[in-house]
Amino acid sequence: MPALKEIVKPSDFTRGLMGSKFQNREKEIIATNIIIISAKNDDTWFGFTFEEYGRRCHHSVTERERETLDELVADGYLDRQDGQYSVNEKFIRTLAEYLK
């Protein structure tokens, strides 16, 4: 059976994440940014460094965003290996109510 992140594409998320199970607006904003940059990456989830995240976002990325990414890792919503963040099954399941 394929992994959930191989079935669910970034473009399958069609609405804002306000009020999500993250219970934190900063995490919702970062999750939205990850969805957007992944949708623009041939609509695939991919591993990214903080620097790459900053280059792909259309705003001035702050150090607080790195801290929030690290919080998402600590909470189990993202994986991090060799300096790269990546979406995991928990991330997608947590946001399933926002799928089209």
User: What are 22's two structure tokens?
Assistant: 């993250």
3-state secondary structure of 13: strand
78-81 and 84-87: which strand pairing?
A: antiparallel
Distance CA 64, CA 72 (A): 12
Domain parsing of the chain, residue ranges: 4-98
**Global pTM?**
0.92
**Tens of each residue's pLDDT in the chain, 100 residues:** 677 777 899 999 877 788 888 889 999 999 999 999 999 999 999 999 999 999 999 999 999 999 999 999 999 999 999 999 999 999 998 888 877 6
Assigned CATH for 4-98: 1.10.10.10
